[in-house]
Structure 1
Amino acid sequence: MSRWRDLPSLAALRAFDATARHGSFADAGRALNVTHAAVTQQVRALEAELGVALVRRAGRKVGLTAAGERLAKALDDGFGAMVDGIAELRRGEERRVLRVATTTFIAETWIMPRLPDFWARHPGIEVAMSPSPTLADFARDGFDMAVRALADGWTERPEEEIRPLCRSQVLAVCSPELAASGLTPQEMPWVLGADSKWEMAEVARTGLDVSRLKLVELGSPHLELSACRQGLGAGTATEIICRADLQAGRLVILPLKGLPEVTYAVVLPRGPRRPAVEAFAGWLATIF
């Protein structure tokens, strides 16, 4: 059973504590941002509930009775322990590592290279990226947020908040050597990762016959772009992910139409959040 049931109202205890500290109803009222009459009423109500005088007037000041001295000391100890406990909780939360679930591509090509900027702005926040193609379960896995690419038609679940960051076109890409080989996109090998079903659905939208494609299955999504760079096959990637490779000439775009756009977004569990979570989510909105 809660021990709060045995206590007078917290408002009355705060009013008496402030009166004991400041020595007057008027000063206590200013400290609590209420009128001195409200403080007086709360202290009188507390005396009535306890059946003992706690204060005595001494001109404009207020002195404490022996009972008032004992209660003031107990409240000082109790409120002090509460303040210390809350401060320790906050310090622990500030030190706790921020856990972010995302895909390998987003982590390696977009977020990780820009993390020094975040740490320059927020030097006390540690960030741990957990790249995985599977969706994060916040309650089960303890992640603070996820950064995902969402296909059109996505919906926000009741337990989540989704903050879109940007839209990015899905492109078909390959190495310059493969593009110059004379093979048509239908004749080229295609590199697949763990999410091959979704990728093949994308490719099918271009009009290619996916049942006739020669597939290069790697079993790991973070190897796909590397395999494409090495000329092992064509593949799909969002423009934001392969931008650096396109600019450097390591990859070229295949002229296929019909590929979709995706929405990159921050996914947050609903409920109270640490300031560090909001800081990182806000920073992500500046880099996409």
Structure 2
Amino acid sequence: MLRWRELPSLSALRAFDATARSGSFAEAGRALNVTHAAVTQAVRGLEAELGVPLVRRAGRTVVLTEAGERLARALDDGFGTVAAGIAALREAEARRVVRVTTTTFIAETHVMPRLPEFWARHPGVEVALSPSPSKLDLARDGFDMAIRALSDGWVEAPEDEIRPLCRSQVIAVCAPALAASGMHPQDMPWVIGADKHWELAEVAGTGLDVTRLKRVEVGSPHLEMSACRQGLGAGTATEIICRADLEAGRLVRLPLGGLPVVTYAVVLPRGPRRPAVEVFAGWLATIF
């Protein structure tokens, strides 16, 4: 076991190592961004602690004593090993995939279509999207961030940092053929997803009687919007999710009010982060 209390201070060892490499207190000071007097004092303190001279002056330079040469070789090996270990750690972390959890709809409609643009700018950053309707524990489950839709009144948790991206209106939509049928929204079938209580509460906010709705359950959040496009029923989603379908005419908006507005946000675990995580989080802020 390494006995840290028996070792000289790291700052003194760094000062001696820099002096041994440069042959000058002044050059060592410049390398360490301190004064040459501070380096001189640290080296002299190290000599006093070890009880042996390590350097001697030779004009404007310093030369190592025999003891100093032995210590310099040991520090070169030791600091070299530390430097190599840190470099390997940084390289491995730089290559590690940025893991992102988000909803199926946001992943498919808004993030994935724009990923080629991100990779064109940052070709060395790998990103893995994990669509899930569940709210996961980011740190416990190994995720670097989440993209979440937060209802009004959300509170930032102590363990997370929340960076709002945009606000988006929840709207009611259906296929053009269903809208053209002349059927009142109360009489239309409604595609209700996995989060039944939340979606029923949204629809109830429009004034419709949810107890009388004919509900279509497709069993998977991946299929809800597809079911709406196919005319199987009406549904609710944020405008940002429906935007491409509305513009292409695959869906139309139903004239129902009373639906909420949600905030899309990047959620990050608090603590140190890799540069790649910050790069991707910053890019997300430009596409919403």
Is TM (by shorter chain) over 0.5? Answer: yes
Tell me which residue corresponds to 1:35.
35
C-alpha distance in 2, partners of 1:154/1:43? 56
In the TM superposition, residue 221 of structure 1 has moved relative to its aligned partner by 1.1
Contact 1:176 1:251 in 2 (8 A): yes
Contact 1:99 1:144 in 2 (8 A): yes
Structural mapping, 1:89-168, within 5 Å: 89-168=89-168
1:23-59 per-residue CA deviation (whole Å, 9 max, x = no partner) reads: 1111111111111111110000000000001011111
Contact 1:192 1:219 in 2 (8 A): no
C-alpha distance in 2, partners of 1:81/1:2? 16
What runs of 5+ residues in structure 1 fail to find an aligned partner?
Answer: none
Deviating 4+ runs (over 6 angstroms): none
Tell me which residue corresponds to 1:189.
189
Tell me which residue corresponds to 1:174.
174
Tell me which residue corresponds to 1:223.
223
C-alpha distance in 1, partners of 2:234/2:62? 84
Contact 1:99 1:143 in 2 (8 A): yes
1:174-198 per-residue CA deviation (whole Å, 9 max, x = no partner) reads: 0111011121010000001111110
In the TM superposition, residue 276 of structure 1 has moved relative to its aligned partner by 0.5
C-alpha distance in 1, partners of 2:268/2:77? 39
C-alpha distance in 2, partners of 1:256/1:67? 85
C-alpha distance in 2, partners of 1:250/1:27? 70
1:106-141 per-residue CA deviation (whole Å, 9 max, x = no partner) reads: 000000000001101110111110000001211221
C-alpha distance in 2, partners of 1:225/1:74? 66
Tell me which residue corresponds to 1:55.
55
Amino acid at match of 1:11: S
Tell me which residue corresponds to 1:263.
263
Percent identical: 81
SS of corresponding position for 2:187: coil
Of stretches 24-33 and 61-70 in structure 1, the one that deviates more from structure 2 is 24-33
SS of corresponding position for 2:215: strand
1:152-184 per-residue CA deviation (whole Å, 9 max, x = no partner) reads: 111110000000000000000001110111210
RMSD after superposition? 0.8
Amino acid at match of 1:171: I
C-alpha distance in 2, partners of 1:139/1:250? 39
C-alpha distance in 1, partners of 2:3/2:234? 67
2:75 aligned with 1:78: no
Contact 1:204 1:210 in 2 (8 A): yes
Amino acid at match of 2:203: V
C-alpha distance in 2, partners of 1:114/1:5? 54
SS of corresponding position for 1:63: strand
SS of corresponding position for 1:155: coil
C-alpha distance in 1, partners of 2:28/2:66? 20
C-alpha distance in 2, partners of 1:250/1:63? 80
SS of corresponding position for 1:186: helix
Amino acid at match of 2:94: E
TM-score by length of 2: 0.99
TM-score by length of 1: 0.99
C-alpha distance in 1, partners of 2:178/2:205? 22
C-alpha distance in 2, partners of 1:197/1:274? 38
